[in-house]
Amino acid sequence: MSDANKVQIQIQGKEFLISCPTEAQPELLASAQLLNQRMDEIKQSGKVYGLDRISVMAALNLTHELLQTQRELEALKQQQQHLSDQIAKAMAGKNDTDKAPA
């Protein structure tokens, strides 16, 4: 890991100086941009007031999306494993028939 640098980000008009490894800076900036965007969407909906509540709603929404994505990824991994097992069985069966005497 490389040395941490200070990166300035802006969330809802407030400046924050965050320590971050150099190689993680693009992800930090993208994360800040996404968070800002989601907070703007919540603010513009007019259903949630106050920066604290908007922040919590954005965090909950993003966490919900993360958990959904993790579940979908796990399901895809299981599907991939199932398909790999089927391919292995099919290949084993093909190899057995190739070895059978004619």
CATH annotation of 4-72: 3.30.160.880
Whether pLDDT at 102 is above 60: no
Average pLDDT over residues 79-93: 94
pTM score, whole prediction? 0.74
Average pLDDT over residues 47-63: 95
What CA–CA distance (Å, rounded) separates 66 from 71?
Answer: 9
- The residue among 62, 54, 61, 47 whose CA lies nearest residue 11 is 54
Query: Distance from CA of residue 98 to its chain's centroid?
Result: 45
User: Given this model, what pLDDT does residue 1 score?
Assistant: 47
Whether pLDDT at 43 is above 70: yes
Tokens 């400046």 locate to 15
Whether pLDDT at 52 is above 80: yes
**Half-sphere exposure (Cβ direction) of 32: Cα atoms closer than 13 Å:** 19
Q: Can you give the residue ranges of every domain in the chain?
A: 4-72
| Residue type at 53 in one-letter notation | R
CB atoms within 10 A of CB 42: 19
Q: What value does the mean pLDDT of the chain take?
A: 92
Whether pLDDT at 23 is above 60: yes
Which residues pair with residue 11 across a beta bridge?
14
